[in-house]
Structure 1
Amino acid sequence: MMTRNFLYSSALVLLAVASGCHNFTGKQSTNGNSTDNHSGYDDSTLRQTQAPFLLPYNRIIQPAGDVVRYGSTGDENHTLDVKVMPGSNLLAVEDRYGIAVIDPQDKKVLARWGYASDPKYRGLMSTYSGIQVLQEDGKVSIFWSAANGDSHQSYVLKAVWADNQLVQTDAIPFKPEGDSPLALPNELAIDQENGINYLFVVLNGNNRLVKMNLKTHDVQWSKPIGVAPYGLVVSNGKAYVSNWGGKQPAAGDKAESAGVPYGKAFIDPKTGAINNGTLSVFDEKSGALISEIKTGLHPNDMVVSHDGRFIYIANGNSDNVTVVDAAQNKVAATIPVMLFKEKQRLIGDSPNALLLSADDHTLYVANGMDNAIAVVQLNGASGAVKGFIPTEAYPCGLAQNGNTLFVTNLEGEGARVNSMAVTTGRDVPKTPGGAFNSHHQLATLSIIKVPGEAELSGYTDQVRKLSLAFRAEIAGLMPRKGVAPQPVPERIGEPSVFQHVLYIIKENRTYDQILGDMPEGDGNADLCIFGSKVTPNEHQIARDFLLMDNYYVSGKCSAEGHQWTDAAMATDYVEKNVRAWFRSYPHVQTDALVYDQNGFIWNNAADHGKSVRIYGEACTPHYEQGTTWAKVYDAYQNGKPFKFTNTSTISRVRPMMSPNFACGNDLTIPDQLRATEFIDELKNYEKQSGDQLPQLMVMALPDDHTGGMRPGSPTPRAQVADNDLAVGRIIEALSKSRFWKNTVVFVTEDDSQAGWDHVSAYRTTGFVVSPYSRMKQTVHVNYNQTCVVRTIEQILGIPPMNAIDATALPMFKCFNNTADLSIYHAQPNQIAINELNAKLSDLKGHDLYYAKQSLRPEFDHIDGGNDDLMNRIIWYSAKKSKPYPKKYAGKDDDGDDD
């Protein structure tokens, strides 16, 4: 199957070369339809080794300029911020695991200091942004912020660059205050008063701004500010702070608020998202609050004009820049920076970093989700986008030296490190062709010459093409009258044969882990650990309906994954927290800072008159303390009810939520209970007159995540088998119901982080099940999670929520035009669902070691704990009689290898 991968990759590159600027545009259809969504992207896998790189969310990256790549191949690396070091052309770069000094001329890393190098700082990660440089005593001092959510430590760190050496010299600690478990310093500013340097620090966790003597560390003042303060500039005797989560709710405020980590914030009741952003203005000397200015949503990075007249604030969830008149402390202008036409109103650009040219005439804006820099021509307070410069994935830090721009790319080229290149870590595949895992990627820095007008025009066209903008145009076409119903209508608003959609979201598996043993697809049997014996239903469904072997998740872990499944995008707040997850790990929707301004697929459907039922997504179950999986399952087998309650922090979700279906954030509850509750509700709907089955049903079915080898819990293969049988039973019940003729089921994993895949770190299992999908063939088209969301929208006749699902490819190739109403019969499980892990007292050797590791408190909940460790636990549990294949075995780091 490697030949098909190579051909797909080659076809994309050839198409890119032939089109000059990668003209991935639509074309006129030959079957009588007016438009065609097809592009070169759709004929390719994500197994790219050179640009153009495909991303698993309808974007292609072909960056301008040169790229410096660095970092341990055993890690998931991310660059965050950059500054030009005074007195040289060198760059100080902040990445998630430390800092680096980079020579942009030679395009190499001269030195790097990481937290792992010092026992005092192990476990720290750099916060969102804010690296600063200062020339003092003939040396360059570098300051930046770091924190450790587990140990609750927070520091502003200092390193010195001198004589081509990078030495960490100081660490200023900050303690958590109030309800916060983590002070979480972020942006920094250094300003001099009367010959004394003062350090200003935003404490994102404590919701405070602190001023201290840089030399003595004496605190001058500490002031409360808004929710989750982020950015900071000091100018004209004032300190300006952007509040990511907006204004602090006060006692007696009647407007709806919802939980964010360490407090509450005002939210939009329709979506649950933060509904305001603010800029706090303080007197630099006294710390007195001067003004609170309204901005756009998720205000983050800021810059001040060199003449001090204007403050510019990037609004990550409004896709614009607020311009504040510094003298009058009021908004002077708002500058949109959207890539797509403003009339399309497609959110999702995510501006998150700013840079002003030396003459104050040009503002550079890092649009994270556009993989581009917006170039804004300024005219006083006003401005307009002049064009876009392509970067790597998610630009998030900007600097300039002369005619050269420097860009840190938070997501770089994505998780593309091949196992053959990994020199650290465990269970790293060493096989011809290699394999991929979502937690192995390099940090990248772009070096780009400032383009002239003609070059900028070409770059702008390229960015639009790489963003598949033509599909957004198709998404906006008006429906036609008299069009016959289709499984997936060609245009939104045209009729579908389907009236009901069930959207099932599972947990954390790669394609090869589950379906790698299917000869019908591009699988690798050596990487298959939950094959046909464990997952007979998924295998049978793939054979009876269709097998997708080129389907991808859009994020690298569940905190990202549930945003992509539920909202078809991830916000700046999510991206800035990637891998570190300082404030929350939002695999369950409980943090209002996570959500984009348009919300989720359920409120999109409800806003357009569709009936919605949520089964276990975006909520948390509560039950009696001391409950165990065995007790719950034994009661279930004996027909006894399991008492629990579901809660959600999103008010819009509560009336949509099934109270009988246990929420998905829990492995104590077998998926058989969840399947039974859904089937019982389905039977009740069948008894009701007419067709009252909800038009959109969103379901969390999580137990294929597994709890490892934790004593008393089911074995990993038993939990995967439980999950597989639940899917089979649900499909069987639907196929026997009177609703089957007009129902479609989409099944996806939320992410693929828990294993390896030989095609891509993002490849996973996906299933499309309906009477119109009994195709009994393999579909090789490149689809991803946003394609599922777009297809659901297309079927329900509701518009896209953002620029990502607007450019997704509807899954036309997964359907026939003729229905086959055959009943699907669930395949019996071949692994006992109540096959439990052994007690510690019965274990020894590796069994005892991995059982103890599974008892770590971070594994108490779904998606807690170390993913690499869980991968190894799962492999050992599934194939302990067959050691990890030597051709896949990596270096054993701690001496407990098989």
Structure 2
Amino acid sequence: MRFFFPFSLLFSPLLLTAQLRTIKTLQVPSRAEYCKIDTTGGYSVLPSGRRVTPVGTTLRITNDPFGLAVSPDGRRVVALHSGAISLIDAENPRQALRIPDYAKTFADPFKGATFLGAAFATDSKLVYLSGGDKGNIIIFDTEKKEKIDDISLNQPIDNQNFEESFTSDLILNSAKNELLVLDRAHFRMVRIDLATKKITASIPVGRQPFGLSLSPDKKYAFVANVGLYAYPLVPGVTPKNKDTMMLKFPPYATVTKESIEGVEVEGRKIPGLGSPLVPEAMSVWMVDLATNKVKGKFKTGHQIGEMIEEAEIVGGASPNSVAVGKRFAYVSNATNDNISIINCQTRKIAGHIALKVHPSIDKYRGLMPFGMALTQDEKTLYVALLGFNAVAVVDLTTRRVKGLIPTGWGPTKVKLSPDEKNLYVVSARGLGAGQNGGSGFVKPDRGTYIGDIQLGTFQKVTLPTPTELKKWTQQAIDNTFETVSVTDDGKNPLPPLPGSRTSPIKYIVYITKENRTYDEVLGQLSKGDPTLARYGTNVTVTTKTDTLRQVDVMPNHLRIAQQFAYSDNFYCDSDASIHGHHWMMGVIPNEWVEANSNHSSSFNAFSKAPGRRFPKATGGIDPEDYNEIGGLWEALERKKIPFYNFGEGNEFAAVAEEWNHFEYGARQPVVFPLQKAVFEHTSRNYAGFDMNIPDWLRMDQFEKEFTAKWLTPQKGKKVDLPRLIALQLPNDHGAGVRPEAGFPYPHSFMADNDISLGRILQFLSHTPYWKNMLVVITEDDPQGGVDHIDAHRSVLMFAGPYVKRGHVSHTHANFGSILKVVYNTLGVPYVNQYDATASLLQDFFTDKPDFTPYQMLIPDKRIYDVDKAMEIYKKTYDWKTAKPGPKMDDPDEQRREHYRQQNN
């Protein structure tokens, strides 16, 4: 029998005084397993340590399906991906036909641009598809398998011209032979006459319109707006002076007097963003199609500034999808894990349905409801739970979840067959990625880059009987977590739960790097593939013009791993940095992040379309992305735990990054704010992501600020190191070679990153704080390389006196596991379901500390000469004191770099 140990009993006086305690924890089921993909009917292990066991008939299809349409005759299904569609026989789904196919049998109808809108014509043959970034609708013939026409949204209407439109969701209004289409660039809904292919109406709606639905009587359209703000251009910035007039640091924190009203910084009045509670922000609008007037504006879900269980809400509800019945409209609020009910007659919110799946985790968020399907009798609502790998079956009579249907990883859309006997579900990441290199690996046609090799899934599920639904519900829970008894003798430095006892580890330094897999850095160690260890020691560096032998590229990484402890079973939950910097900061990427990260979406600071200045931070977290009560920063702030940030969150959309932008590493042309919790705790003189700046310079900045703040306090002032320091060390991301700047090889960036990591550990281990310190070293994502076990497997190393020396951890770990270390050690309550259910990494630690400091190694100077790289800054390093020893993640750019490096 499954049960949860009452939280209040964990800390009773009787238990606290006992020498041995049995404590119940929640952990993922595959903590003793490595990632694997089982296509024969078993289960697959995900990077999170969760499992997926999709039920029904399952097909692996192209990655990231965010659009789904079923033909009126029930014979065809179309899944829409980034720049591709999958055509599926709904009656007998044996395989999916991808268009364009890799053999180039069929012409490419999209030229790379699509988004999430898909709708069949009444003839069940033609399908209308969102052209996304190109601002058009593609008309595709599913029988001929070819594009037959397209319709542009950039048409003049009512004496107004529109340019740079972006096609979001769309729906067919058969009663008028028209399409209703969302243009997220211009914050509007348009009506298109299919006979003339002309726009007949342009109706302003809320910010970043994302989801669209039509009432059964075809009288009303409902628009879900996921945008929070309309971001203004920084005053004084022009295309010609942007490098000198951009802001050096975000002007204000979110939801403050300054962010609402504006502030004067850097000699200019920076406009505010206004209130996040206005009707245009994260809302649902009801449009009367008889008059083209907006008849209702609804703020669904919980609102920013409200309190939930003593925690302030910092993230908007993110209403993303609407299912409309004769009386009620249902809205999925991703951030709140609930469904809002709108009464269509009274035009008021009639209540909310809390999506509760199990009492052990219901108090945490993490389900992320997305696409929905409503039965014709309006008694049942099917909800795709993007964060839980299941479809929730909601009884609308009782307003409760009555069961779960297991899916692939990250379900996005769900549809009912016309006869309502079957359910169709698509999942973004399916069964995971699997290996993308190593002996015996055969490169598939789709490629080896993580975004190419990872397939989505399509499921056809016959609606379950009550007995089947009960079984599937337990299966979905068992895939996600289990209750694990931990015997605690009080000695392990990692407490089994937050607040259960005090740890001798007082300070945590959380270092994140960029884009590397386990095998390419640590492949010469446990469970590695040495043939893939191109950044190891004693390797051969080969380029088109040169060959170097016996090169030590990243010797400090190997020394740290072997001297302290590392994992050979750690995985990034992320595919790329846009996901990674969310996950590692304790923020689950929502539907806005996921959809935008996988589709072309051009940013233009100077556009007349306000939606083109959309937030799409690759190394930061945008206001549209905030989780309900935030992530790591907010959790620490609530507990009044001191923390400080060096460089995290600086990579906003369209920032300028040059070698002399070393104050913060990036300058912004558009007014983007920083999270309120971290704004005052972020260094103004540490360069975050900027590949024109050596990591070695960052170490100068770090040591200088660390020394001034925490090693040489003013006379009579007592200081203490913050309990958590986050530090970004990004140069192992890699960039184009620059011999004149000291980076003659792609490996030069890795060597810079390596020696800088060695330097920081050497510095920290010689401070008085070392005796109570833990250093966590990891990567934000693995997309730059290959791995013979899984493309998500990456680097995780722990260093410090209480870390078990020479230890290799085989416990399945992910970002949730790292955050569980932070929260348990510092006594901070978990924030979301991924923290609460992550594996517990107690095997890394010992109660017998070893205070020996670290001594850095110097990589081969043939590939990286620190002094050469620092010439431009006129800085030198006193080597006698040393102990012996591009823009971030544009998917297309990273894909090119991935394949270029594989060919070197």
Q: Tell me, yes or no, whether TM beats 0.5.
A: yes
SS at match of 1:677: helix
Cα deviation per residue 1:206-231 (whole Å; 9 max; x = unaligned)?
21111121121222211221111111
Match of 2:691 among 643, 667, 674: 667
Cα deviation per residue 1:18-45 (whole Å; 9 max; x = unaligned)?
x9x9x9xxxx999753336666511111
Tell me the equivalent position of 1:680: 704
Match of 2:820 among 776, 790, 797: 790
2:373 matches 1:386: no
Give me the whole-angstrom Cα distance separating, in 2, the residues matched to 1:85 and 1:396. Answer: 19
CA apart distance, 1:449: 1.5
Pairs within 5 Å for 1:504-653: 504-518=511-525, 521-532=526-537, 533-580=552-599, 582=601, 585-589=616-620, 591-619=622-650, 628=659, 649-652=673-676, 653=678
Q: 1:91·1:103 contact (CA, 8 Å) conserved in 2?
A: yes
SS at match of 2:366: coil
Tell me the equivalent position of 1:700: 728
Match of 1:408 among 426, 431, 434: 426
Match of 1:125 among 113, 118, 136: 113
Tell me the equivalent position of 1:281: 286
Tell me the equivalent position of 2:165: 183
Q: 2:225·2:281 contact (CA, 8 Å) conserved in 1?
A: no
Q: 1:720/1:69 Cα in 2 relative to 1: closer, same or farther (>3 Å)?
A: same
CA apart distance, 1:78: 2.1
Pairs within 5 Å for 1:790-869: 790-831=820-861, 859-861=886-888, 863=890, 865-869=892-896
CA apart distance, 1:760: 0.7
SS at match of 1:241: strand
Give me the whole-angstrom Cα distance separating, in 2, the residues matched to 1:456 and 1:605. Answer: 40
Q: 1:349·1:367 contact (CA, 8 Å) conserved in 2?
A: yes
Paired letter, 1:444: T
CA apart distance, 1:248: 6.3
Give me the whole-angstrom Cα distance separating, in 1, the residues matched to 2:174 and 2:93. Answer: 34
% identity of equivalent residues: 25
2:65 matches 1:79: yes
Tell me the equivalent position of 2:462: 449
Give me the whole-angstrom Cα distance separating, in 2, the residues matched to 1:588 and 1:87. Answer: 45
Q: 1:536/1:283 Cα in 2 relative to 1: closer, same or farther (>3 Å)?
A: same
Q: 1:546·1:773 contact (CA, 8 Å) conserved in 2?
A: yes
SS at match of 2:684: coil
CA apart distance, 1:606: 1.4
Give me the whole-angstrom Cα distance separating, in 1, the residues matched to 2:587 and 2:727. Answer: 16
Pairs within 5 Å for 1:26-105: 32-35=21-24, 40-50=29-39, 51-71=42-62, 77-105=63-91
Give me the whole-angstrom Cα distance separating, in 2, the residues matched to 1:627 and 1:140. Answer: 52
TM-score by length of structure 1 reads: 0.80
Q: 1:392·1:413 contact (CA, 8 Å) conserved in 2?
A: yes
Could you list the runs of 5+ residues in structure 1 that have no partner in the other structure?
1-18, 72-76, 429-435, 633-640, 839-858, 881-898
Paired letter, 1:399: K
- Over aligned residues, Cα RMSD in angstroms? 3.7
Q: 1:722·1:833 contact (CA, 8 Å) conserved in 2?
A: no
CA apart distance, 1:484: 4.8
Q: 1:359/1:36 Cα in 2 relative to 1: closer, same or farther (>3 Å)?
A: closer
Cα deviation per residue 1:134-186 (whole Å; 9 max; x = unaligned)?
224xx5221120234xxxx2221112244xx4332121122399999842212
Paired letter, 1:103: D
Q: 1:450/1:824 Cα in 2 relative to 1: closer, same or farther (>3 Å)?
A: same
Paired letter, 2:212: L
CA apart distance, 1:863: 4.8
Give me the whole-angstrom Cα distance separating, in 1, the residues matched to 2:327 and 2:594. Answer: 31
SS at match of 1:313: strand
Match of 1:169 among 148, 155, 169: 148
Q: 2:29·2:482 contact (CA, 8 Å) conserved in 1?
A: no
SS at match of 1:135: coil
Give me the whole-angstrom Cα distance separating, in 2, the residues matched to 1:176 and 1:811. Answer: 58
Q: 1:486·1:497 contact (CA, 8 Å) conserved in 2?
A: no
Give me the whole-angstrom Cα distance separating, in 1, the residues matched to 2:161 and 2:364. Answer: 37
Tell me the equivalent position of 1:159: 140
Give me the whole-angstrom Cα distance separating, in 2, the residues matched to 1:800 and 1:589. Answer: 21
Tell me the equivalent position of 2:606: none
Match of 2:476 among 446, 463, 477: 463
Cα deviation per residue 1:637-690 (whole Å; 9 max; x = unaligned)?
xxxx9797878721523211112211x220111111211222223333123354
Tell me the equivalent position of 1:843: none
Q: 1:728·1:825 contact (CA, 8 Å) conserved in 2?
A: yes
Give me the whole-angstrom Cα distance separating, in 2, the residues matched to 1:687 and 1:718. Answer: 34
2:253 matches 1:226: no
CA apart distance, 1:827: 1.2
SS at match of 1:778: strand
Cα deviation per residue 1:275-295 (whole Å; 9 max; x = unaligned)?
963111222033122221111
CA apart distance, 1:268: 7.2
2:125 matches 1:140: yes
Q: 1:773·1:816 contact (CA, 8 Å) conserved in 2?
A: yes
Tell me the equivalent position of 2:11: none
2:792 matches 1:762: yes
Give me the whole-angstrom Cα distance separating, in 1, the residues matched to 2:161 and 2:516. Answer: 36
Pairs within 5 Å for 1:268-307: 277-296=282-301, 297-305=317-325
2:375 matches 1:357: yes
CA apart distance, 1:258: 11
CA apart distance, 1:132: 1.1
Give me the whole-angstrom Cα distance separating, in 2, the residues matched to 1:187 and 1:396. Answer: 14
2:268 matches 1:244: no
Cα deviation per residue 1:430-472 (whole Å; 9 max; x = unaligned)?
xxxxxx845312232011121121221121111111110537x
Q: 1:95·1:443 contact (CA, 8 Å) conserved in 2?
A: no
CA apart distance, 1:749: 0.4
Q: 1:369·1:394 contact (CA, 8 Å) conserved in 2?
A: yes
Q: 2:618·2:652 contact (CA, 8 Å) conserved in 1?
A: no
CA apart distance, 1:505: 0.7
Tell me the equivalent position of 1:656: 681
Paired letter, 1:596: N
Give me the whole-angstrom Cα distance separating, in 1, the residues matched to 2:805 and 2:777. Answer: 17
Q: 1:409/1:651 Cα in 2 relative to 1: closer, same or farther (>3 Å)?
A: closer
Q: 1:243/1:680 Cα in 2 relative to 1: closer, same or farther (>3 Å)?
A: same
Paired letter, 1:302: V
Tell me the equivalent position of 1:316: 334
Cα deviation per residue 1:107-149 (whole Å; 9 max; x = unaligned)?
2246543398687855423313x3211224xx5221120234x
Match of 1:206 among 170, 186, 198: 186
CA apart distance, 1:587: 2.0
641-650 vs 583-592, greater mean Cα deviation: 641-650
Give me the whole-angstrom Cα distance separating, in 1, the residues matched to 2:473 and 2:457. Answer: 22
Paired letter, 1:146: G
TM-score by length of structure 2 reads: 0.79
Paired letter, 2:24: T
Give me the whole-angstrom Cα distance separating, in 1, the residues matched to 2:654 and 2:167. Answer: 37
CA apart distance, 1:80: 2.4
Aligned length: 778
SS at match of 2:578: helix
SS at match of 2:464: coil
Cα deviation per residue 1:78-114 (whole Å; 9 max; x = unaligned)?
2223333122433233233322331234322465433
Cα deviation per residue 1:674-722 (whole Å; 9 max; x = unaligned)?
1122222333312335451111111111011111335645232221111
CA apart distance, 1:558: 0.9
Paired letter, 1:613: Y
Give me the whole-angstrom Cα distance separating, in 2, the residues matched to 1:156 and 1:291. Answer: 27
Cα deviation per residue 1:592-639 (whole Å; 9 max; x = unaligned)?
22222222312211111111100000125999999548xx9xxxxxxx
2:488 matches 1:503: no
